[in-house]
Chains A and B, each alone.
Chain A
Amino acid sequence: MDNKRRKILKFAAVSAALGFTGLPIEGLASYFPKIGKYVRSDKEKKAKQWAMVIDTRKFKTKEDFKRVIEACNSIHNVPEDIPNKKQEIKWIWEDEFEHVFPDQENPFLAERYKDQEVLSLCNHCQHPPCVRVCPTQATFKRSDGIVMMDFHRCIGCRYCMAACPYGSRSFNFRDPAPYVKHKNPDFPTRMRGVVEKCLFCYERLADGKMPACVEASNGAMIFGDLMDPNSEVRKVLRENYTIVRKPELGTEPCVFYII
C-alpha cells in the first residue's frame, strides 16, 4: 500500500517536473531564432565587383527593349501600370539618350543619338550615395559589389531617393500587389512604404545564372567581374569606347554604355 502510494507520488512529481520544465522550454525555444547557416551553392557565380556593359547599338526596335524589361519584371514581382505615373515602380526601363545622359547635352547632337532610347537601371556604384545616407543600412553594398536592399528593414524615409543621382530608386507609394502581373513566389514581394530597385539578379547569380536582362538581351548586355582583368566585361571595355552616367559625381557607376 505504502509502496504503491510512493510510486504514484513519484510519478506525479516527475510528470509535474516535466510539465513545469520540459514543455515550457520547448515552447520558449520556438521564440529563439533558428541558428542555421546559409550554405552557398557550388554553382554560385562570384566576383569582387559585378559590372554590366550595355551595347546601345544593339537595341534597335521597341521589341529589343521590351524583351529585356519584361524578363526582369516577370520574375521580380515588379508592379506594372500603376495608375499614377509619378508613383511608378521601375527596375529597368528605357528613356531618351538626353535624359539618361543629361550632362552630354549638345544641341547639335547627331540624329542617331537624339532618337536613341537607352536602358536605365541601378548603377551599383562603387561609392553609392544611397548606401551612405541610409539610416538603417536597409540598403548596403555586398562584398560582390551589388547594392542590396533589405525590404523588411527599410523604414521608408526615402533619403536614398534624394541621394541617388540617377533616379534609379522607386518607392511603394501604395500596395504593389494588385499591379504585379506575373507573381513569382520564389522572390520577395514588397509592401507599401518601402523603397526598391534593381538588385543585379543576386538570386540568379547565387544559382549560377546570369541576370535575367542579360540573358534576354541576345548579347547586347555583357555582365561580369570588373576586377577580373580576364572577365568578359573587361574585354569589352578594353575594345570599345564606353561612357558612364554622371562620372563627375564620383559615384563610379558599374553600368557602362557603348554608344
Chain B
Amino acid sequence: MLEKAFYGDKKYWTWVIFLLILMGIGSIAYIYQLRHGLMVTGMGRDVSWGFYIAQFTYFVGVAASAVMVVIPLYLHNYKKFEKVVTFAEFMAVAAVMICLGFIIVDLGQPQRLFNVLFHPTPHSILFYDMIVLNGYLLLNILISWNNLHADYKRVPHPKWTKVLAYISIPWAFSIHTVTAFLYQGLPGRHFWLSAIMAARFLSSAFCSGPAILVLLLLILKKVTKFDPGEEAIRTLAKIITYAMIINVFFYSLELFTAFYSNIPEHKATFIYLFKGLQGHGSLVGWMWVMAISGLACLIILIPPKFRNNQDLLVVALILLILATWIDKGLGLVVGGFIPNPFGKVVEYRPTVYELLIAMMVYSMGLFILTILWKVGVGVKREVGEIPK
C-alpha cells in the first residue's frame, strides 16, 4: 500500500522535496544546538520551557481531536464521517510525531531519553505522558492503516480495529488530560494551578484540531478531487463551533476567578499577558490578536448562514486556529513562568535557532501527513471512492 506514496505528479514531488529541504535546513540548526547545548535558545533559568514545549502542548490537542470524528462515527453511527475518518486518524499520527519531535529537541541530553524507560517513575506525570502519547500513536497507526488496508483489499474492516477504535476514544481524552496535568499540578505556578486546565485544554483541542482538519481536507479536495462531502464539513463546523464556545467560556472562568478574588499571584500572569507588567509586555500584541480573532471567529461560526458558507467558514477557521495557537502555543507555557518565583518579570523570546528547529519538526510532521494522506487518496482512488 505504501507504494502509493511513490507515484505522484510533479506538484506532489515538488511539495515533498520542498518539505525535505525545510527539514534539511532545520536539521543544520538542530545539529548546531546539539553541539552547543540549549544556550542557542532564548530560554533561561526563569523561563525554562519555551517555544518547543508550547508547540508540543498545542499539537497534543490536535492529535486528540481525531476523536471528534471517531465518536460520531463509532458511537453514533454517523456514516458521513466514514470517508474522512482515515484522514483524521492519519492527522493524529502526524500530530503525535510532531509532539514527540518537540519533546526530543527540548531535551538537554536527548541521548539519555530512554532513562525514562530504564527508570520508570510512576509519581512523575511525564511517565504517564510517555505512555499515553506512544499508546495513542500506536492505536491510530494500527486502526487507520489496517482499515485502509481492508478497503484496499475490498474486504470489510476487521473487528479488532473497531475494538481499538473504542479504546482510542477515552485514550484521546487521556493524552490531553495528562498533558494538562503536567502543568496544573505544580505548586507555585499560579497561572497553571487551575482545576479547569485539563477541561480548557480539551475544549481548545476539540475546536482547533477539527479546524485544521477541515482546512486540510479542503486543500485535499482542491488538489485531488477527493470530496469529503458537504455534510461532513458542515457537521465538523458545528462541532468546532460548540467546542470554541466552551473554550471561550472556560477562559473567561479563569479571568473571573483571578480578578474577582483579586489575589495578586492569580492576576499577575494575565496582567503581564494583556497589559504588561513591570515594564515588560512583549506578548501583549499577540494576546489581543488572540482575544479579537477568538471572538470574531465565533461571530462567523455561530449563525448557520455564515457557517455554512464555505468561504466564510475558511476565514473563521483561520481566525480560530490563530486564536487557539496564540493561547496554547505562545501565552500558556511562557506565561506560566512569568513572573518568576521571585515575583520578577524576566521575558522570553525565541531565537532564530529555535524557530528553525521548530520548522524542522513541523515540516517533518507535514511530511508524514503528506505520505499518509497520499496513500489514503491512492487507495480511495483505486477502489473508486474518488473519480479517476
Contacts and interface: CB of A to CB of B under 8 A. Distances in A.
Given A133-B186, A166-B341, A249-B187, A161 B45 contact: yes
Contact of A153 (B115, B126, B186): B115
Contact of B107 (A87, A88, A156, A165): A156
Instruction: Classify the interface of chain B: helix, strand, loop or mixed.
Output: loop
A84 B126 contact: no
Chain B: number of interface residues, binned into ranges = 35 or more
A207 interface: no
Instruction: Classify the interface of chain A: helix, strand, loop or mixed.
Output: loop
B36 A174 contact: yes
Contacts of A250: 187
Contact of A155 (B107, B123, B125): B107
Interface stretch (B156-164, B217-225, B342-350): B342-350
B366 interface: no
Interface in A160-177: 161-167, 169-175
A193 B39 CA distance: 9
Given A173-B37, A251-B187, A134 B124 contact: yes
B46 interface: yes
Contact of A135 (B49, B110, B130, B188): B130
B106 to A, nearest CB: 7
B48 A171 contact: yes
B45 A155 contact: no
A258 interface: no
B264 interface: yes
A135 B124 contact: yes
Contact of A171 (B38, B126, B336, B340): B38
Interface stretch (A20-28, A70-78, A93-101): A93-101
A173 B39 contact: yes
A82 to B, nearest CB: 9
Contacts of A162: 48-49, 183, 186, 189, 336-337
Interface string A119-143: 0000000000100111111100000
B297 interface: no
B37 A135 contact: no
Given A132-B124, A135-B124, A173-B44, A99 B344 contact: yes
Interface in A64-110: 84, 86-88, 90, 95, 98-100, 102, 105
B119 A136 contact: yes
A129 to B, nearest CB: 6
A159 interface: yes
A87 B342 contact: no
B121 interface: yes
Contact of B45 (A88, A105, A135, A163): A88
Interface in A208-259: 246, 249-251
Nearest to B111: A155
Chain A: number of interface residues, binned into ranges = 35 or more
B108 A86 contact: no
Interface in B243-295: 264
Interface string B317-358: 000000000000000000011001111101000000000000
B48 A158 contact: yes
A105 B118 CA distance: 45
B190 to A, nearest CB: 10
B10 interface: no
Of B38, B127, B340, the most chain A CB neighbours within 10 A belong to B38
Interface string B77-111: 00000000000000000000000000100111110
B197 interface: no
B108 A136 contact: no
B28 interface: no
B109 A86 contact: no
A172 B108 contact: yes
Interface of B: 36-39, 41, 43-46, 48-49, 103, 106-110, 112-113, 115-116, 118-119, 121, 123-127, 130, 182-183, 186-189, 264, 336-337, 340-344, 346
Top 3 A-B pairs, shortest CB-CB distance: A156-B108, A165-B188, A193-B108
